[in-house]
Amino acid sequence: MNDIIAAIATGKMPSAIGILRLSGAGCAEVAQKVFTPNNGKSLSQAPNRKLILGTLHDRHGRVIDQALAVYARAPHSYTGEDTVELQCHGSPAMLAAGLEALFAFGARQAGPGEFTKRAFLNGQLDLTQAEAVIDLIDAESADAAANAAGQLGGALLRRIDPIYQALVDLCSHFHAVLDYPDEDIEEFKLQAMATTLQNAEQSLRALLATYEKGRHLKHGIKTVLLGRPNAGKSSVFNALAGYDRVIVTEIAGTTRDTVEESIRLGKVLLRLTDTAGIREASDRIEALGVERSQRAAEEAELAIFVCDSSEALTEEDYTAMAAAKKAPRCLALLNKSDRVQVVKSLPFETVLSVSAQTGENMDKLQEILEQWYEDGASCDGSILTNARQFGALTRASEAIDRAKHALTNGMTPDAVLTDVEQAMMALGEVTGRTVREDITSRIFERFCVGK
């Protein structure tokens, strides 16, 4: 990490503000070759973490913008290294010219997530905080953002670290008694060991139990709309999306493929999939669409069956109903309530009469889903949202469970501690204490360039 990295830290579209970011020893000397402060002093002499006004030049010395610069000296910076940010107008062409100039004077292009990776490697962030950065950037709801912000502030670390420290104390106490028998060290007791393991297991189970909500918070609930052709699935989809996302016609079978959209209903995020109508396909293309519909139904966490309540149920309706009932949760919509209703009930616990055309009762669908999926848990960063972390914590819990059984079955403490040490390794993968370099690299590859 001895080289100087640089990147555009803002988006590629024109915007009011654009930022060029540098990090690494000597970055101020590189930046001052393209930025001239109006006060006549060099950037390397600028006060720490204070904005100064100046002009930005391209590699040929031409003025391309009026800009602000801030120089943060190590270790009091995001990366823990010397860093410089040049805050300009958000012209993509101007930012590209500024970045090219920085490369010409010794910086290199930063890789995806390299600024945050350096912050982690320099001890500015633990791994839970580093991963929270990308979750905060990708958040699709206020609750998801609040939970990511809490993790960035160390909320998840504060739940995991006491478990890790308790296991460290357990191992160190045993080895101290074993290695220094003549010292005045408190006797190692199996009951105390059992209590520590029990407390650790309970804490881990409580944390793991938050993952389903965290997964829904971060990725949304995998939801599928099912029904026969022309039941109004695409109209329901468009009504929930708030715009005409899917083509709707009176011709049955207009939708030939699955269409997915992230849709937020109140505090519930749906990963909603519209499907081809389930029926005996009339051609090869429609058959592929029906096959994808059936696969989407099998993978869904929530299925919404849609029927045309103005027409009698058909065999195709019953086939779609059977597919919907395979999902962990399902409900039915009696669509086209603005017409004379022929179908007034369905064999589902939750049935709602709606009109996708007029919007009648569509708001009640939101109320039902919030009752199902909103448990009132605080999104303060203590909710587990990351699949990698969930996997590591699961392995830690399993190792502690093995240790408990070994202790109950009369195994010696040193044999029990083998599993305890495996639990500590797994916990260390979450916080970054014991994570391998290849895993670290894979984590930061998910980040955007410039972060």
pLDDT digits (tens, 9 = 90+) for 283-298: 555 556 566 667 777 8
Q: By the 8 A CB rule, do 156 and 381 touch?
A: yes
Residue environment code for 414-444, b if the CB has 16+ CB neighbours within 10 A, otherwise e: eebbebbebbbbbbbbbbbeebeeeebeebb
Q: By the 8 A CB rule, do 102 and 20 touch?
A: yes
| pLDDT, average across residues 94-106 | 96
| pLDDT, average across residues 173-200 | 73
What confidence score (pLDDT) does residue 308 get?
A: 93
SS3 84: strand
Diameter over CA atoms, the chain:
91
Tell me the pLDDT of the chain averaged across its residues: 88
| pLDDT, average across residues 381-394 | 94
What confidence score (pLDDT) does residue 248 get?
A: 46
| pLDDT, average across residues 35-47 | 94
Q: What percent of the chain has pLDDT over 90?
A: 63
Question: Confidence band (pLDDT; 50, 70, 90) for 184?
Answer: low
Higher pLDDT, 440 or 63: 63
What confidence score (pLDDT) does residue 82 get?
A: 97
Question: Confidence band (pLDDT; 50, 70, 90) for 12?
Answer: confident
What confidence score (pLDDT) does residue 451 get?
A: 83
Q: What percent of the chain has pLDDT over 70?
A: 90
What confidence score (pLDDT) does residue 251 get?
A: 42
pLDDT digits (tens, 9 = 90+) for 311-356: 999 988 998 899 899 899 999 999 999 898 999 899 999 999 999 8
What confidence score (pLDDT) does residue 177 get?
A: 59
What confidence score (pLDDT) does residue 249 get?
A: 43
**Poorest-pLDDT segment among 83-97, 304-318, 405-419:** 405-419
Question: Confidence band (pLDDT; 50, 70, 90) for 52?
Answer: very high
Higher pLDDT, 319 or 67: 67
Closest among 378, 385, 371 to 139, alpha carbons compared: 385
Collect all residues with Cβ–Cβ distance below 8 Å to 364 and sequence separation of at least 6. Answer: 352, 354
Asked whether the predicted pLDDT for residue 133 surpasses 50, the reply is: yes
Asked whether the predicted pLDDT for residue 69 surpasses 90, the reply is: yes
What confidence score (pLDDT) does residue 53 get?
A: 97
pLDDT digits (tens, 9 = 90+) for 222-269: 999 998 888 888 888 888 888 766 544 454 444 445 678 888 988 899
